[in-house]
C-alpha cells in the first residue's frame, strides 16, 4: 500500500508537470466540460422549469439531484475518466504489454495516469447548483444527513468507475466497444435528466440493478434531504460492492485471456 501511494504521488506530479507544459491541456477540458454543464443545465430548466412535483420532489430537490450528478461526474472526469477510456485502445494496439510488464499494478497505473485538473472548476459549479437547491428546499439538515450524503457521493463515484471499467473490459473479447459506450452514454444522459425515484417496475430494476446509473445521484440526494431509509443505504453499498467485485474480476479475467496485438 505504501509503495502504491508513493507511485501514485509521483505519477500525479508527472501528469501535472506535463499538463502545465501544454497549457491547452489544462484549459481545453475546462471549457469543454463547462459548455457541457451549461447545456445540461438548460435542458434541466426546459424539462423541470414548470414542473411542481415529481413523486414528492420539488424544484429544490431536483436541483440538488442535478448538482450531485454533476459533482460525481466531475470527480470522474478529474480522477480516472481519461485513463479508463484508454483501455480499449491499449488492448487493440498491444500497448497494454508495457503496463503488464512493469512492477506496478497495471490497472492502478492506467486508472490514475491521466488525471485531469482542468475539470476541477466543475466541482465549484456543481456545489453552486446544490447550494441553490438547498436554498429552494428551505429546510434544516442534520450533520448525520450530510455525512451520509458525502459517504454516498464517494461510493457512487466508485460505482461510476466500476461501470466504465466493466464496459471497456469487453475490449478484451470483441473488436469494438463503441456500441456499448453508446448504451452507456444514453443511460447516463437519461438518468441525469430523470431522478431514480421516477422509475418503477422493470425500469427501476434496470436502472437500479442492471445499469445502476439511476441510483448514482438519487441515493445521495435522498440522504441529503433525510428521505433515505437504512434499507436504501445498505442497498446502495451492496450494489457498489457487487459491481466492484464484477469489474475487478472481469478485468483480471480479461488480462489472463489477453493476447498481445503485437505478438
CB atoms within 10 A of CB 252: 12
141: its cell numbers: 439538515
The pLDDT confidence band at residue 55, using thresholds 50, 70 and 90, is confident
Q: 85-112, pLDDT tens digit by residue?
A: 999 999 989 899 988 988 788 998 899 8
- Is residue 235 one of the residues assigned to a domain? yes
Average pLDDT over all residues of the chain: 84
- Is residue 213 one of the residues assigned to a domain? yes
- Is residue 262 one of the residues assigned to a domain? no
The pLDDT confidence band at residue 69, using thresholds 50, 70 and 90, is very high
For residue 102, give its domain range.
2-257
Listed residue (127, 25, 123) closest to 77, CA to CA: 123
Spatial contact of 232 and 148, defined as CB atoms under 8 Å apart? no
- Is residue 142 one of the residues assigned to a domain? yes
Residue with C-alpha cell 506535463? Answer: 18
Listed residue (231, 128, 110, 213) closest to 165, CA to CA: 110
Q: 14-49, pLDDT tens digit by residue?
A: 555 555 555 555 555 556 666 666 666 666 666 666
- Is residue 263 one of the residues assigned to a domain? no
2: its cell numbers: 505504501
Domain count, the chain: 1
Region 150-178 average pLDDT? 95
Q: Which of 33-42, 46-55, 253-262 has the highest mean pLDDT?
A: 253-262
Amino acid at each position: 500500500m505504501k509503495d502504491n501511494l508513493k507511485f501514485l504521488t509521483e505519477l500525479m506530479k508527472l501528469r501535472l508537470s506535463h499538463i502545465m507544459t501544454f497549457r491547452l491541456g489544462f484549459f481545453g477540458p475546462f471549457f469543454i466540460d463547462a459548455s457541457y454543464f451549461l447545456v445540461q443545465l438548460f435542458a434541466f430548466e426546459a424539462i423541470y422549469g414548470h414542473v411542481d412535483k415529481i413523486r414528492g420532489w420539488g424544484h429544490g430537490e431536483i436541483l440538488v439531484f442535478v448538482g450531485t450528478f454533476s459533482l460525481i461526474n466531475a470527480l470522474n472526469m478529474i480522477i480516472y475518466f481519461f485513463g479508463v477510456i484508454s483501455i480499449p485502445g491499449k488492448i487493440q494496439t498491444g500497448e497494454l504489454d508495457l503496463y503488464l510488464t512493469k512492477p506496478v499494478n497495471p490497472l492502478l497505473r492506467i486508472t490514475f495516469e491521466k488525471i485531469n485538473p482542468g475539470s476541477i472548476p466543475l466541482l465549484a459549479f456543481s456545489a453552486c447548483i446544490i447550494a441553490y437547491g438547498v436554498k429552494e428546499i428551505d429546510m434544516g439538515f442534520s450533520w448525520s444527513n450530510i455525512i451520509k450524503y458525502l459517504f454516498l457521493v464517494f461510493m457512487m463515484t466508485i460505482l461510476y468507475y466500476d461501470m466504465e471499467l466493466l464496459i471497456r473490459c469487453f475490449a478484451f473479447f470483441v473488436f469494438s466497444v463503441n456500441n456499448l459506450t453508446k448504451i452507456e452514454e444514453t443511460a447516463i444522459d437519461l438518468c441525469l435528466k430523470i431522478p431514480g425515484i421516477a422509475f418503477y417496475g422493470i425500469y427501476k430494476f434496470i436502472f437500479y440493478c442492471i445499469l445502476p446509473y439511476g441510483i448514482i445521484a438519487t441515493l445521495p440526494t435522498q440522504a441529503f434531504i433525510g428521505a433515505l431509509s437504512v434499507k436504501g443505504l445498505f442497498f446502495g453499498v451492496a450494489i457498489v460492492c457487487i459491481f466492484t467485485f464484477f469489474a475487478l474480476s472481469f478485468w483480471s479475467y480479461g488480462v489472463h485471456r489477453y493476447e498481445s496485438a503485437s505478438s
